[in-house]
């Protein structure tokens, strides 16, 4: 059974204070690892796909990395508008498995 654990559950940062979110996973035959951002009251919005260990993707202040056991979402110099819940999912079997997310709050 595929499993995804995200940590921490909640993270509070000051504006400009860089940090990382963790996604640990076990999966039989990784076909892809996905990061999403979810704002309150809305559906998850796709951010990145990573397919193999060593791969990295960047978008503005976000950078996602992948090893054989975990993925990190690095947030550099965050702004209040980066506040959201970040979800990680792995695609091994036919159905993606989601973590429970990290709720990020960035204070001005």
- Contact footprint for another protein (CB under 8 A): 31-32, 34, 36, 41-46, 49, 51, 87, 89, 91, 94-96, 98-101
| CB nearer to another protein: pick between 78 and 99 | 99
DSSP-derived secondary structure letter, 64: E
Retrieve residue 20's tokens: 């990382």
Instruction: Return the number of the residue (43 or 108) whose C-beta is nearest another protein.
Output: 43
Nearest CA to 57 out of 49, 67, 45, 68 is that of 49
User: Closest CB to another protein among 29 and 54?
Assistant: 29
In the complex, least distance from residue 100 CB atom to another protein, rounded to whole angstroms: 4
- Which tokens hold the place of 58? 């960047």
DSSP letter for 40, please: T
Distance CA 69, CA 3 (A): 11
Q: Hey, what's the torsion of the CAs at 28, 33, 39, 42, to 10 degrees?
A: -60
Q: Between 3 and 18, whose beta carbon lies closer to another protein?
A: 3
């Amino acid at each position: 059974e595929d499993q995804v654990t995200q940590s921490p559950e909640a993270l509070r940062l000051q504006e400009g204070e860089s940090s990382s979110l963790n996604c640990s996973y076990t999966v039989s035959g990784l076909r892809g690892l996905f990061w999403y951002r979810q704002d309150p009251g809305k559906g998850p919005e796709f951010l990145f796909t990573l397919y193999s260990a060593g791969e990295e993707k960047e978008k503005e202040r976000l950078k996602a990395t992948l090893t054989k056991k975990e993925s990190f979402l690095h947030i550099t110099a965050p702004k209040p508008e980066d506040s959201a819940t970040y979800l990680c999912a792995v695609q091994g079997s036919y159905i993606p498995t989601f973590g429970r997310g990290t709720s990020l709050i960035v204070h001005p």
